Amino acid sequence: MSGPRRIAVTGFGAVSGLGADAAETWDAVRQGRSGIALRAFEGGQYAPEPVTFPAALAADGFQGRLEAAMGRKISAGLDRFALFALCAAYEALDQAGLVGDPVLAERTAVVLGHGQGGQESLEKGYERFFGMKSQRMHPAMVPKVMVSGGVSAVAMQFGVHGPVFATSSACASSAHAIVQGAGLIQSGLAEVAVVGGSEAIATPGSMAGWQAIHALAETTCRPFSQGRDGMVMGEGGAVLVLEDMDRARARGAPILGEYLGAGMTSDAFHITQPSLEGTSAAIRQACAAGDLLSQEEVLVSAHGTGTPLNDENEAAALNAVFAGSAARRPVIATKSAHGHLIGGSAALQTVIALQALRAGQAPPVQNFLEPDPACVVDVVVGQARPITARHALLNAFAFGGLNVSMAFAAAA
Amino acid sequence: MSVTEPELLDLIAQEAIIDREKLQRDATLGDLGISSLDVITMLFELEERYGVVIEEADMPKMETLGEMVDFLMQRINEQPAKS
């Protein structure tokens, strides 16, 4: 009897405040460049006065490469969150050499995670309803707002007829999507899975909501540092092409890394506070799936939001799981560069972690001031650090206590 | 507020995401890929810009772009000018 199917990563794509593709994103994080800047959020004539927050927003024109290749028939009708997903999916499928391949129609799944869906379209629609008191809403509002708008756009653009659905678990949404996509391959329901996620909730109404729970930093994102005061909102998306390893090798596809397995837990505890037990259990499961504790070095891409609570809990969880392991574990926290993409974060961090393993460099945590005695982990600061790790651990811990940890390996 | 045929074709190209040069009068709506959602999106924009309310259900059955353009221009341009 053979073991479970091995899962190769054969393509990836990314859009964020750091750039319009995966290579630009990697260059920026490796060099310690940030996409975070102070932004004014202006909600229009029915809104209160604009507020200013640090945020990492994607530059205009990020969809240029997609639209030059595929036209605008599908992309032009999308909310920003779905457009991020579609752009990243095109880059990933193009890299995998699968655009136009018959496998897309026959044996492919699309699973993308989003915390919220078409927030910009919702706010514009509600401005008409509650502000202008108009009963007539834009006819595209519902399809733009629905959280499955992204996966439907990817399926329509590339002709995917297999299992297609969205996952939603706040900040862990795209991590759940990656695990579900891998599972569809391992269960035989698909041979290829287009997985990842995106988010575009840096909108005036949404930012006021995030302000209300005191989650947003007033200065910038400083994961694991003393003086950290919260997360910074980002936006964008990232997509990976997962593929049955034997199939990928047989067709000579680029092997960019391997998905080894994951842990998924629920704290069942509090809607915003993390739990040491829940997060540790997810990390422990992922470490077992990827045999991480016996490695000499493991690159840890932390959830690392820069909130006081998350980083202290995450450091404790990592130390609890790795107690007794001799593995060096350099910790990176790239939300300090691209902000928090909520549903898109885990996928973007996966794209970055796989490039870090390939380059043998751990990108620095930015904006770090001083070590925090409450977060005793080996934080990579200053500049990119040379690493020999062939394995990565990646955490995504969501509001509501929904935890996913994933284990990846560099391409053999 | 009146509309000219080129203005109307610009709006159709924008709302139905079709290359402007493909919008020939004898092209059929099916060939152009203009769906029901495209039509109601177009009608929404016409209301926004020209203040004319046209329900999709009131539109006669039409085959070609020319027929649709003639119908829409007649309905828009018969409206009394807004003060």
* 3-state SS, residue A258: strand
Q: Do A73 and B17 touch (CB under 8 A)?
A: yes
pLDDT of residue A2: 61
Residue B17: which of A76, A138, A139 has the nearest Cβ?
A76
Partners of A141 on chain B (C-beta within 8 Å) are none
**Average pLDDT of span A345-355:** 98
- Say if residue A94 is exposed, middle or buried (CB neighbours under 10 Å; 0-12, 13-18, 19+): middle
Active site residue A303: yes
Measured in Å, how far apart are chain B's first and last C-alpha atoms?
A: 10
Among the listed residues A74, A9, A36, the one whose alpha carbon sits nearest the alpha carbon of residue A254: A9
Any CB–CB contact under 8 A between A214 and chain B?
A: no
Q: Do B41 and A138 touch (CB under 8 A)?
A: yes
**Average pLDDT of span A248-257:** 98
Q: For residues B38 and B82, is the Cβ–Cβ distance under 8 A?
A: no
Partners of A63 on chain B (C-beta within 8 Å) are none
CA A37 to chain centre: 20
Chain A's closest residue to B40, CA to CA, is A139
| Residue A4 pLDDT level (bands cut at 50, 70, 90) | confident
pLDDT of residue B78: 87
Report angle CA A354, A405, A410 to the nearest 5 degrees. Answer: 25
Chain B's closest residue to A136, CA to CA, is B44
Chain B's closest residue to A137, CA to CA, is B44
Helix H or strand E encompassing A265: strand A257-266
Q: Do A77 and B17 touch (CB under 8 A)?
A: yes
**Average pLDDT of span A16-41:** 98
β pairing state of A233-234 and A192-199? unpaired
Give the helix ranges, DSSP H, for A202-275: 204-212, 245-250
Lowest mean pLDDT among A102-111, A300-309, A384-393, B56-65: B56-65
Q: Do B33 and A73 touch (CB under 8 A)?
A: yes
Q: What are the residues whose beta carbons fall under 8 Å from the beta carbon of A5, sequence distance 6 or more? A: A185, A186, A244, A245, A246
Distances, alpha carbon A137 to alpha carbons A302, B13, B41, in Å:
42, 21, 10
**Average pLDDT of span A278-292:** 98
If you compute the radius of gyration of chain B from its CA atoms, what whole number of angstroms results?
12
**Cross-strand bridge partners of residue A391:** A298, A409
* pLDDT per residue as tens, chain B (83 positions): 789 999 999 999 999 999 999 999 999 999 999 988 899 999 999 999 999 999 888 899 999 999 999 999 999 998 775 54
| Residue A383 pLDDT level (bands cut at 50, 70, 90) | very high
Q: Which residues of A203-240 are buried (b: 16+ CB within 10 A; e: fewer)?
A: bbbbbeebeeeebbbeebbbbbbeebbbbbbbbbbbbb
Tell me, what amino acid is at A192?
V
Residue A72: which of B17, B40, B47 has the nearest Cβ?
B17
Chain B's closest residue to A134, CA to CA, is B48
Partners of B33 on chain A (C-beta within 8 Å) are 73
| C-alpha–C-alpha distance, residues A209 and A303, integer Å | 21
Going by the DSSP 8-state scheme, the letter that residue A130 receives in this structure is I
Chain B's closest residue to A142, CA to CA, is B37
User: Does A405 score more than 80 pLDDT?
Assistant: yes
User: Does A208 score more than 90 pLDDT?
Assistant: yes
Partners of B38 on chain A (C-beta within 8 Å) are none
Report angle CA A290, A293, A294 to the nearest 5 degrees. Answer: 95
Interface with chain A: mutation pick from B22, B44, B53, highest number of A CBs within 10 Å? B44
User: Does A369 score more than 80 pLDDT?
Assistant: yes
| C-alpha–C-alpha distance, residues A301 and A350, integer Å | 8
Residue B37: which of A73, A136, A139 has the nearest Cβ?
A139
Any CB–CB contact under 8 A between A358 and chain B?
A: no
Residue A138: which of B18, B33, B44 has the nearest Cβ?
B44
Q: Which residue has the higher pLDDT, B43 or A412?
A: B43
Partners of B17 on chain A (C-beta within 8 Å) are 72-73, 76-77
Q: Do A73 and B47 touch (CB under 8 A)?
A: no
β pairing state of A236-244 and A257-266? unpaired
| C-alpha–C-alpha distance, residues B14 and B10, integer Å | 6
User: Does A3 score more than 80 pLDDT?
Assistant: no
Q: What are the residues whose beta carbons fall under 8 Å from the beta carbon of A397, sequence distance 6 or more? A: A171, A172, A274, A279, A282, A303, A310, A314, A403, A404
Calculate how close chain B gets to A139, using CA atoms only, in Å. 6
Partners of B40 on chain A (C-beta within 8 Å) are 139
pLDDT of residue A1: 45
**Average pLDDT of span A375-403:** 97
Distances, alpha carbon A409 to alpha carbons A258, A304, A369, A386, B36, in Å:
5, 21, 31, 17, 48
Q: Which of A303, A338, A375, A391 is catalytic?
A: A303
Q: Which residues of A282-305 are buried (b: 16+ CB within 10 A; e: fewer)?
A: bbbbbbebbebbebeebbbbbbbb
Chain B's closest residue to A128, CA to CA, is B48
Partners of B41 on chain A (C-beta within 8 Å) are 138-140
**Average pLDDT of span A213-221:** 95
pLDDT of residue A230: 97
Q: What's the mean per-residue pLDDT of chain A?
A: 97
Q: How many CB pairs under 8 A join A and B?
A: 17
The percentage of chain A sitting over the pLDDT mark of 70, rounded to a whole number, equals 100
Q: What is the tens place of the pLDDT at every residue in A288-328? A: 999 999 999 999 999 999 999 999 999 999 999 999 999 99
**Cross-strand bridge partners of residue A233:** A55, A340
Going by the DSSP 8-state scheme, the letter that residue A269 receives in this structure is S
User: Does A130 score more than 70 pLDDT?
Assistant: yes
If you compute the radius of gyration of chain A from its CA atoms, what whole number of angstroms results?
20
| C-alpha–C-alpha distance, residues A133 and A115, integer Å | 28
Structure tokens at B48: 């926004």
Report angle CA A381, A382, A385 to the nearest 5 degrees. Answer: 70
